[in-house]
Each structure stands twice: as C-alpha cells, then as structure tokens.
Structure 1
C-alpha cells in the first residue's frame, strides 16, 4: 500500500486556485502536473467551497464582492439595531417601574 502524503494547506489552496483560474486546462491535467490524485484535488475543492461558505456566514459564497460587502454592512447594522431595541425595551421597563 502506498504511503499517504500530507500536503500543506497553502499547497491545497494554490492547487484549487489553479483549477479555478485555468478553464482551458482540465482538472485531470492539473492534478497530473502537480503529482497528486484527481480525487484529492476534487476533495480539496469541496473543502474550499465549504470553508468559503462558512466564512461568509452561510450560503452567500456565490455573491459578488459588492454584494458581500453590502451583506456585511447590513448584518452589522442589524446587530446594532437589535442592540438599540434591547436598550429601549429595558428603558421602557425601567420607566414603567419608576412611575408606579
């Protein structure tokens, strides 16, 4: 049985990036050129998509950079508004208690 190779994360990301940036070359050719198995390259691609989706906060991996920036801005604004709403709710409770 062949010894299993451990590749650094940077190599994996670069290999996946090479596949994505080279539409004229097949993943098989790229894997062969890098000396890795095609299935390893496919797994790294799936892992990278999952990691990107998770880092972006969910299924927004297919968004343009402008849309991602807007989504981040809206999420920050939403969090701030929820915080403001919580403060107002507590202030209303406090005001009701002091007027009794």
Structure 2
C-alpha cells in the first residue's frame, strides 16, 4: 500500500511561484509531482491568498479547543483557591 505524500504550505507556494517563472510542466518534472497538482495549488492560492494552505486545520482546531477547556478549568481552580484564601484569612482568633 502506497503512502500518501504531504506537502507543506510553504512548499506549495514555492512550487506555484516556480511554475509561474519556469512553467508548470518543467517544475512538475523537476519536483516529481503531477502538473494537475500544481495547477490546483495555483487556483487555491489565487482564490484564498495567504489562507490557501492552512495545514491540518482540524488538528489545530482540536488543539485550540483542548487549550480552551484547560484554560477554563484553571480559571475555576483559581477562583476556588481565592475563596479558600478569603475564608482562612478572615477567620477571627
């Protein structure tokens, strides 16, 4: 079973830039990738600009959600500790 190749956003942008300068067919041969892939990257880059190749957005969104949950938990713990400090410091002797 063949593994699927993945390319970074920077690689894709550079491939499109090279294709514009030297021709998509030449760059396709040089990089060993299909010309249709370069054409696809070119279309996506022209449509979406800097947001064309966000990477694995799902993983990024999952990480963001996990960090938000952790942040909320830490805020709740902090509030509990503040209340505990208030209880123990205002205690009459």
Normalising to structure 1: TM-score of the pair? 0.45
- Structure with more relative contact order (C-alpha pairs < 8 Å, separation 6 or more): 2
More helix by share: 2
Normalising to structure 2: TM-score of the pair? 0.48
Give 1 or 2 for the bigger CA radius of gyration.
Answer: 2
